[in-house]
Structure 1
Amino acid sequence: MQRMRVVLNAKAGTVRDLGPERVRRTVDGALARHDLDVEVVVEEGEALARAIASAPREGYDTVVVGAGDGTVSYAASVLANTEVTLGVLPLGTMNLLAYDIGLPRDLPGALAALHDARPMRVDVGTLNGRPFHGVSGVGFFSQMALAREQVRERQGRVVGWFLALGKALMRSGRFSLEVEVAGAREPIEAYAALVTVNPFDAPGWHRSRLDGGLLEVLVAEERGTLARLKTGAEVLVNAWRDKPGIHAFTAQRVTIHARRRRAWVATDGEVERETLPLRYAIAPGALKLLVPRDAIQWRTRQSEDVT
């Protein structure tokens, strides 16, 4: 019999609003199958991390994480290069990975989609050797993440986003960087750089492929405050890729050099001070991820199989 551990963040808004025991029972009932032994735990902090990290050695075949992108990224780093499958539930603030694979934002809808999801081998990226599942950004993006952390407990999602945007625009400044791909360096006076595991090339911040085997790097030139504001709005709707002043690179390995020794870097929603240069690489097919059957990524794979 297959074994699944579901780890829910006790501090997630849905858990706090409905109550831990009610959510636990709802999740357990929705995911139960005759051939699946499901354990649902509600934890926070270090206990949350331990429940995820211990699952592979305790014999679980699947670990489902109901938390924010940072915790999901931690789970991906634990489960990468193993045969244990990762599932996600959108209980955090941004839920970028859950949204990317088409999981509904409401708990009943997400559970129904997860119940019928299938495992897909997907790529993960690494930053200075540490795995991440989605996006990593410097400059404006790291300042945006820092500002969002400061306002999210006091404001609603939309109002908080615009307040964070304003703070990030004020704090972001010009910095000189060089993007190194295949030994060649391109110098750019920039205010933001974003590295993603496969391009977010489908409308509305979706990736058409999770297994394309490429990193995409998007760098925004420093062109003044108005240009920053415009780009910030375009980032929200993922409409900035082909705009003037945007440099795009794809590769399996990318290194970002800068004159500074350390910088704030936002990776899958978590902001850390990183030592430069920033060395990114992709690990093809390193993670097994539960992806809903109607996700765009399955449709892309099917269309490629037909051709």
Structure 2
Amino acid sequence: MTKSRRTTLILNRDGGTSRGMNSQQFGELVAKQLESRGDHCTVQMISGPDLINVLKHAADDDTTGTIIAAGGDGTVSATAAACFRSGKTLGVLPLGTMNLFARSLQMPLDPIAAVEALTTATARDLDIATANGRPFIHQYSVGLHSRLVNLRAGMNTSTKLRKLASTLAALGKVVLDPPRFDLDLTVGSGRERQTLSAISVSNNVLTGLPAPYAEKLDGGVLGISCSAALDTASVIRMTMDAARGKLEENPDVDVRTETRVTLNFASPPKSLKAAIDGEIISLENEVELNLHAGALRTLVPAQHPA
């Protein structure tokens, strides 16, 4: 960690794991561990709505060199975006339900073990992507996945079990009524017109279900997955292939890697939304996605392979 500048720990009390722990005690433990090796650590205890303002203050603070996100994937994604824009180093303590970025870092999912791993972590330059300038560390998606996320947002996800049940309920609705839209996909100098039920553009290539995360975060590519317009039976087959980690073998799915891609949506249905790192946003008619290789300085556990 940076020795001459402060570390700011942002601890989200609303994270999936945080609800079952003494957040104040955990924050003090992290600060003590970091300060034992000479790093001055300031702890910011927040709830979800406070996150953006606290991040902005930390990013604008010239004395802060590292920002540690202690929370779920939403907290980590927002913190990564702030670090990317400000040039600060990102640290991650997984306190969420899925902890996808932490899995990519091979960070222990047990909070106490994660603290120990963080104290011996080293900084590495990892990849981050943008969609029309908005940073994301996981994926930008339209269609099946974004509809599932949108449906689940109106359900009870207060615990891991309830989140799983809500995900399955939302998946059932998506399977019975798959979305369908036209898309012009521009890669390099080529432009393709496709009719799809889903497109996903990820920061490096994702694994299959049940926890789709990138096993490599410095591959320097976007993972682009296009699913042809599907009926219910085809969606079920695709979901099963994804669960087995065999999505690339599904005949309805085209998977490729690029560093830049532009999506043009021709008269999309009004109900069609986009999801970026799990957050539902309005769908823009044109979306340019870029991979920024090595642009996110990140603390990585010592045991993580080169």
Structure 2 Cα separation of the partners of residues 233 and 115 of structure 1? 39
Change (3 A) 1:210 1:202: farther
**Runs of 4+ in structure 1 over 6 Å off:** none
Matched, 1:144 2:148: yes
Kindly provide the amino acid, as one letter, of the partner of residue 173 in structure 2.
K
Using the TM superposition, give the Cα deviation of residue 128 of structure 1 relative to its aligned residue in structure 2, in angstroms: 0.9
Alignment equivalent of 1:176, drawn from 177, 182, 185:
182
Rounded Cα–Cα distance in structure 2 between residues aligned with 1:265 and 1:57: 29
Distance 2:274 2:57 in 1: 28
TM-score by length of 1: 0.88
2:257 is the counterpart of 1:254: no
Cα drift, residue 223 of structure 1: 3.0
* Greater Cα shift, 45-54 or 249-258: 45-54
Between the aligned partners of 1:89 and 1:179, the Cα distance in structure 2 is 36
Q: Is the Cα–Cα contact under 8 Å of residues 15 and 23 in structure 1 kept in the other structure?
A: no
The 5-angstrom pairing of residues 259-274 of structure 1 reads 259-260=266-267, 263-274=272-283
Distance in 2 between residues matched to 1:164 and 1:184, nearest whole Å: 35
SS at match of 1:211: coil
Matched, 1:13 2:16: yes
Shift of 1:7: 0.3
Q: Which runs of no fewer than 5 residues in structure 2 stay unpaired? A: none
Asked if structure 1 preserves the Cα contact closer than 8 Å seen for 2:180 and 2:196, the reply is: yes
Q: Assess if the C-alpha contact under 8 Å between 1:53 and 1:75 holds in 2.
A: no
Counterparts of residues 118-267 of structure 1 (less than 5 Å): 118-151=122-155, 152-153=157-158, 155-200=161-206, 205-260=212-267, 263-267=272-276
Gaps of 5+ in 1: 302-307
User: Identity of paired residues, percent?
Assistant: 28
Pick the aligned partner of 1:49 from 47, 52, 56: 52
Alignment of 1:44-123 (within 5 A): 44-58=47-61, 59-123=63-127
SS at match of 1:51: helix
The alignment status of 1:278 with 2:283, answered yes or no, reads no
Q: Which moved more, 1:202-211 or 1:273-282?
A: 202-211
* TM-aligned CA deviation for residue 198 of structure 1: 1.4
Match of 1:305 in 2: none
Secondary structure of the 2:135 match is: strand
* Greater CA drift, 196-205 or 213-222: 196-205
Give the TM-score normalised by structure 2: 0.88
Question: Which residue pairs with 1:291 in the alignment?
Answer: 300
Which amino acid in the other structure matches residue 259 of structure 1? A
Give 1:100 shift.
Answer: 1.6
Match of 2:150, SS?
helix
**One-letter amino acid matched to 2:280:** V
Question: Could you tell me how far apart the structure 1 residues matched to 2:118 and 2:174 are?
Answer: 35
Distance in 2 (CA, whole Å) between partners of 1:202 and 1:291 is 23
Distance 1:44 1:171 in 2: 35
Question: Cα RMSD over matched residues?
Answer: 2.3
Contact preservation (8 Å) 1:205, 1:237: no
CA–CA separation in structure 1 for the residues paired with 2:194 and 2:256: 13
Match among 34, 41, 46 for residue 38 of structure 1: 41
Q: 2: CA distance between counterparts of 1:258 and 1:56?
A: 34
Q: Distance in 2 between matches of 1:93 and 1:60?
A: 28
